[in-house]
């Protein structure tokens, strides 16, 4: 699955007064998480430049085909053993994996930016990173959930019947995962402007303290 970041930077930049038209870790002993982060470099010296660069260079998403300021690409996998005995079949070893690739922007001209534009970029960049990190957390939560539910499955009269149960359970957890990711994106989109303005105000006041 591929989940997306958010758009609408120009509105926020204009509202703030700027002129504008990999590492591997284990989630648990059972669930294996492979997580990496990559960046795409953008240039520009104004809010308009930044918005244009993000539109041209941001990662594509499979759902909309559009480019976004950030993206999280998620793939579930794993292996499982079936223990066949006369008259019944049960689950043996289970290994659930989730591979996560986070893609976020890096502004090469940040060090040359004026204080106001630099503040805005730092705020937006931090929010993009937080947003994509939350997509990763949601994926890990569902991978753990799948791991636990697979191990809790009772034995069946045959391995064919148990395989069907496993397939149905996997589909169910995948649907729940996708729904949670979509729900998160919708909430983030609704609150985007208010959240960014609040963060900008907070960061601005911090810079004014002696």
DSSP category for residue 130: H
User: How far apart (Å, rounded) are the C-alpha atoms in residues 15 and 57?
Assistant: 24
* Phi-psi region at 135: left, alpha or beta (left = phi > 0; alpha = psi -120 to 50): alpha
pLDDT at residue 16 above 50?
no
- Start-to-end C-alpha separation, the chain: 47
* Model confidence pLDDT, tens digit, residues 100-132: 999 999 999 999 999 889 988 999 999 999 999
Residue 68 CA, distance from chain mean position: 12
pLDDT at 175: 96
Of 7-11, 84-88, 178-182, 197-201, the range with the lowest mean pLDDT is 7-11
Q: Dihedral of the CA atoms 166, 172, 173, 178 (nearest 10)?
A: 140
What's the pLDDT score for residue 65?
Answer: 67
pLDDT score recorded for residue 53: 93
pLDDT per residue as tens digits for the range 140-149: 999 999 999 9
Examine the pLDDT at 4 and tell me if it is beyond 70.
Answer: no
Crossing angle between the packed helical segments 159-208 and 115-151, to the nearest 10 degrees: 160
Give the model's pLDDT for residue 140.
97
What's residue 99's pLDDT? 96
Higher pLDDT, 193 or 171: 171
Helix, strand or coil for residue 44? coil
Cα(165)–Cα(75) distance, integer angstroms: 21
In sequence order, what are the beta bridge partners of 156? 89
How many Cβ atoms are within 10 Å of 21's Cβ, its own excluded?
Answer: 9
What integer best gives the mean pLDDT of the chain? 83
pTM of the predicted model as reported, rounded to 2 decimal places: 0.79
Give the Cα separation of 2 and 76 in Å (integer).
Answer: 11
Query: Which has more pLDDT, 22 or 133?
Result: 133
Residues 6+ positions from 196 with CB-CB distance below 8 Å:
12, 123, 124, 127
Q: What is the pLDDT of residues 28-63, one digit of tens each?
A: 347 999 999 999 999 999 988 988 999 999 898 766
């Amino acid at each position: 699955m591929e989940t997306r970041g958010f758009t609408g930077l120009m509105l926020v930049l204009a509202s703030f007064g700027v002129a504008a038209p990999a590492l591997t870790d284990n989630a648990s002993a059972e669930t294996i998480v492979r997580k990496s982060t990559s960046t795409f470099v953008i240039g520009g010296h104004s809010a308009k430049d930044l918005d244009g660069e993000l539109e041209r260079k941001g990662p594509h998403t499979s759902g909309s085909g559009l480019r976004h300021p950030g993206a999280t690409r998620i793939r579930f996998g794993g292996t499982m053993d079936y223990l066949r005995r006369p008259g019944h079949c049960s689950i043996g070893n289970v290994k659930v994996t989730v591979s996560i690739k986070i893609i976020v922007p890096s502004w090469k001209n940040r060090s040359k930016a004026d204080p106001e534009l630099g503040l805005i970029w730092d705020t937006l960049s931090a929010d993009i990173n937080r947003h994509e990190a939350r997509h990763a957390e949601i994926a890990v939560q569902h991978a753990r959930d799948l791991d636990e539910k697979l191990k809790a499955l009772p034995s069946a009269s045959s391995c064919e019947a148990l395989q069907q149960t496993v397939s149905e359970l996997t589909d169910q957890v995948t649907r729940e995962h996708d729904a949670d990711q979509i729900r998160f994106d919708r909430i983030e989109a609704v609150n985007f402007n208010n959240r960014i303005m609040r963060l900008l105000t907070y960061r601005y006041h911090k810079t004014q303290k002696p």
